[in-house]
């Protein structure tokens, strides 16, 4: 399980345009969306937003699926 990192998962999306924009803003290149489940709703600065969870390439999950 230790080798099951987000960067190798079929559900990991690091290429979406919004992820690229976030990478520029935060100055971090090793992040992406987890697309395993539906988008989530979260509250930020008094506004509700929706989107997929942002994960680090080295995060791990019990629902890992090897990208083929």
Domain coordinates in residue numbering, the chain: 6-56
Higher pLDDT, 68 or 9: 9
Examine the pLDDT at 38 and tell me if it is beyond 80.
yes
CA distance 56 to 24: 15
The predicted pLDDT at position 61 comes to: 83
Examine the pLDDT at 2 and tell me if it is beyond 80.
no
Examine the pLDDT at 50 and tell me if it is beyond 80.
yes
CB under 8 Å to 50, separation ≥6 — which residues?
39, 40, 41, 42
Examine the pLDDT at 1 and tell me if it is beyond 70.
no
């Amino acid at each position: 399980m230790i080798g099951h990192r987000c960067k190798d998962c079929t559900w990991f999306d690091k290429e979406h345009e919004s992820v690229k924009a976030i990478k520029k803003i935060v100055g971090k290149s090793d992040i992406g969306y987890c697309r395993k489940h539906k988008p989530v709703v979260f509250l930020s600065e008094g506004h509700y937003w929706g989107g997929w969870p942002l994960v680090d390439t080295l995060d791990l999950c019990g629902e890992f699926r090897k990208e083929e």
